[in-house]
Chain A
Amino acid sequence: MKQPKNVKDISQGDGPLSAVEIHDQIPLPPPFDKLEDEPAIRPLTQDARDKFVVVDDTIAVGIPKPKTKEEEEKLVNGFLDGLRKCFSVADNWTFLQPLMMSMEHCAKCQTCNEACHIYEESGHNELYRPTFRSEIVRRIYHKYIKKHSTWVHGDIDLNWKTVARLIELAYRCNLCRRCAQTCPIGVDNALLAREIRKVASQEMGIVPREIHDDGSVLQLKVGSSTGMNDIVVKDNVEFIDEDTAERTGIPIKTPWDVEGADILLLHNAGEIMAWPENPGAFATLFQAAGLSWTLSSDFAAYDGINYGVWYDDVQFARVAIKHAQAAARLGVKRIVLGECGHAHKALTVIADKVLTGGLKIPVESAFTVLHEIVKSGKVKFDKSRNDFPVTLHDPCNVVRLMGIVTPQREVIKAVVPEHRFREMAPHGCENYCCGGGSGFAIMSGRNFSDWRHHLTGRRKFRQILEAFQGEEMDKEHPKYVCAPCSNCKGQIRDIIKYYDAWEKAGISYGGLVELMVNAMVDAKPGFIDWEWH
Chain B
Amino acid sequence: MQWLPYVVAYAGIAVFLIAVIARFFMWARMPIHVRWELYPVAHDAKRARYGGSYFEESKWWTKPREVSLLGELKVMVPEILFLVALKEHNPKLWIRSLPFHFGLYLVVACTVLMLGTGVLGALSTSLLEGGFGTLLRGLIVATGAAGMCLAILGALGLLQRRLTEPGMSTFASGADLFNLVFFVVAFGVALVNFLLFDRDFSQTTSFTAGLVTGDFAAFSGAGGEAFLAVLTVVLLSVLVAYIPLTHMSHFVGKYFAYHAIRWNDKPLLRGDKGEAEVNKMLGQKVSWSAPHIKGEGKKTWVDVATEEFKKK
Chain A interface residues toward B at CB < 8 A:
5-7, 78, 81-82, 85, 88-91, 93-98, 100-101, 104-115, 126, 129, 131, 135, 149-154, 177, 180-188, 191, 201-205, 212, 217, 220-222, 299, 314-315, 317-318, 321, 334, 348-350, 352-354, 356-357, 360, 362, 364-365, 368-369, 371-372, 399-407, 428-429
Contact = CB atoms under 8 A, between A and B. Distances in A.
A93 B58 contact: no
12 contacts: A91-B288, A109-B90, A150-B173, A154-B172, A154-B173, A184-B89, A221-B310, A352-B35, A353-B33, A356-B278, A400-B51, A403-B39
Interface in B10-61: 27, 30-41, 44, 47, 50-61
Nearest to A187: B257
Contacts of A217: 292, 309
A97 B260 contact: yes
Contact of B310 (A135, A149, A299, A400): A299
A151 B175 contact: yes
B52 A406 contact: yes
B286 A372 contact: no
Which among B167, B168, B254 has the highest number of chain A CB atoms within 10 Å? B167
B176 interface: yes
B81 interface: no
Contacts of A203: 288-290
B131 interface: no
B126 interface: no
B275 A356 contact: yes
Contact of A129 (B30, B32, B167, B260): B167
Nearest to A222: B310
B65 interface: no
Contacts of B262: 186
A191 B90 contact: no
Interface stretch (B117-125, B192-200, B214-222, B263-271): B263-271
Contact of B51 (A149, A151, A428): A428
Contact of A400 (B33, B39, B171, B246): B39
A221 B311 CA distance: 8
A95 B36 contact: yes
B307 A318 contact: yes
A314 B304 contact: yes
Given A106-B247, A135-B171, A353-B274, A91 B286 contact: yes
Contact of A202 (B261, B267, B293): B293
Contacts of A126: 167, 170
Contact of B171 (A110, A202, A364): A110
Interface residues of B, number: 88
Nearest to A135: B171
Contact of B55 (A318, A321, A353, A365): A365
Interface of B: 27, 30-41, 44, 47, 50-61, 79, 83, 85-86, 88-90, 93, 97, 165, 167-168, 170-176, 246-247, 249-250, 253-254, 256-258, 260-262, 265, 267-270, 274-275, 278-279, 281-282, 284-293, 295, 301, 304-307, 309-310, 312
Contact of A317 (B291, B301, B310): B301
A229 to B, nearest CB: 11
A97 B288 contact: no
A90 B284 contact: yes
A368 B282 CA distance: 31
Contacts, number: 268
B171 A186 contact: no
A142 B292 CA distance: 29
Nearest to A218: B309
Contact of B268 (A107, A183, A352, A365): A352
Contacts of B52: 403-406
A113 B40 CA distance: 20
B48 to A, nearest CB: 9
A429 B257 CA distance: 19
Given A314-B304, A350-B35, A185 B51 contact: no
A362 B63 CA distance: 12
Contacts of B290: 201-205
Contacts of B256: 97, 101
A355 to B, nearest CB: 8
B278 A353 contact: yes
A272 to B, nearest CB: 20
Given A111-B86, A314-B305, A428-B51, A95 B60 contact: no
A377 B275 CA distance: 39
Nearest to B288: A202
Given A96-B33, A204-B290, A205-B291, A185 B257 contact: yes
B293 A314 contact: yes
Contact of A110 (B165, B286, B306): B165
A100 B30 contact: yes
Contact of B306 (A78, A205, A321): A321
Given A362-B59, A405-B50, A429-B51, A93 B89 contact: no
Contact of A353 (B32, B257, B295): B32
Contact of B36 (A114, A154, A191): A191
A364 B31 CA distance: 27
Given A110-B171, A154-B171, A93 B32 contact: yes
B58 A369 contact: yes
A93 B281 contact: yes
Contacts of B31: 89, 93, 96-97
Nearest to A108: B171
Contact of A81 (B247, B269, B289): B289
A-B pairs, top 9 by smallest CB distance, nearest first, are A403-B53, A186-B257, A429-B51, A317-B305, A111-B90, A220-B309, A403-B39, A205-B290, A90-B284
A333 B304 CA distance: 28
B35 A108 contact: no
Which among B54, B172, B284 has the highest number of chain A CB atoms within 10 Å? B284
A402 B34 contact: no
Contact of A152 (B173, B267, B288, B309): B173
Contacts of A356: 268, 270, 275, 278-279, 282
B309 A349 contact: no
Contacts of B312: 221
